[in-house]
Amino acid sequence: MPNIEDAVQYALAQTGKPYHAYGNRFGPDYYDCSGLVIASLRAAGITVPSDVGNTVGLYNWAQRVGGLVSVAKGVATRGAIMIKGKNYGYGPLGHTSFSLGNGQEMAAHGTFSGIHVSDIYGGRNYQDAFIIPGVRYPGLEPPIDPEALKFLANCIAWEKTFEDDGPLERGDTNGRVTMLNELLILRAWMGKGRQSNTYTKYTQAAVTHLKKAYGLDGGGKKFGSVAAHVLLNPT
């Protein structure tokens, strides 16, 4: 899991460099506010979506992944991305920085002041903060995506159906097969274009390969509890 501290350290290392809001504003010779934040994230191995190139893009990304938090939370969290301008924050209307979690921020402030640490003034100039899901933050438990928890619960419930309802077999069409095909694709036993709610010949072939790989008895025409456990718990 990437660590936001690596991004913060990269940003801090740019202290004293000039601010320019044009040209190669993602460094390494100079930055603007969003260029510094995005370049720091990339340097830390954090994947930044291709459509994120400015403060508005950061806000839209945060909104899309459910990472928006209160300004107060951002001020208190080292590495939180502070955002001014929401989806209208182009040019002088917008600004972004890294909160240092101690009442200060690290930012590319402007043409005259350049890049340096400064007081965050309680976040009064900001409207939102962004904590990126799937990234480790000092003092915060590793974030868990609610959708991942939901999927995990569905997997557990799905495995139990093999105790209650028996195996699946070629020709079955139901939600259990939909889940089987989804998992086979997820584990790369079947191609992405094969998603279906039917136990097809492609499902059969994928199950055959799975069983052979793990030394399970039987071919691919049936899929039971043992195979389900192996699919969910590969070793």
Share of the chain above pLDDT 70, in %: 97
**Helices in the chain by DSSP H: which ranges?**
4-12, 33-43, 55-65, 71-76, 146-165, 175-186, 201-213, 225-232
Phi–psi pair at 217, nearest 5 degrees:
-75, 155
C-alpha dist (Å) from residue 69 to 8, 81, 131:
19, 10, 7
Chain-centre distance of CA 132, in angstroms?
Answer: 7
Q: What is the reported pTM? A: 0.62
Q: First vs last Cα of the chain: how many Å apart?
A: 21
Comparing 144 with 133, the larger pLDDT belongs to: 133
pLDDT band at 16; cut points 50, 70, 90? very high
pLDDT of residue 88: 82
Name 195's Cβ contacts closer than 8 Å, sequence gap at least 6.
178, 181, 182, 185
* Type of residue found at 36: L
Phi–psi pair at 173, nearest 5 degrees:
-135, 110
Contact 96, 84 (CB under 8 A): yes
CATH 1.10.101 is held by the domain 146-232: yes
pLDDT of residue 235: 66
- Return d(Cα 210, Cα 207) in angstroms, integer: 5
pLDDT of residue 72: 94
pLDDT at 142 over 70: no
Per residue in 22-74, pLDDT tens?
899 999 999 999 999 999 999 999 999 999 999 999 999 999 988 999 999 99
| Token couple for 19 | 């601010």
- Return d(Cα 224, Cα 158) in angstroms, integer: 11
Per residue in 169-226, pLDDT tens?
999 999 999 999 999 999 999 998 889 999 999 999 999 999 999 999 889 999 999 9
Nearest to 203 by CA among 172, 161, 226, 162: 172
DSSP characters for 138-164? Answer: TTSPPP--HHHHHHHHHHHHHHHHHHH
Average pLDDT over residues 107-129: 95
Chain-centre distance of CA 172, in angstroms?
Answer: 35
Chain-centre distance of CA 208, in angstroms?
Answer: 33
pLDDT of residue 168: 97
Q: Where are the domains of the chain?
A: 4-130, 146-232
CATH class, 4-130 region: alpha beta
pLDDT of residue 148: 78
pLDDT at 144 over 70: no
Average pLDDT over residues 99-127: 95
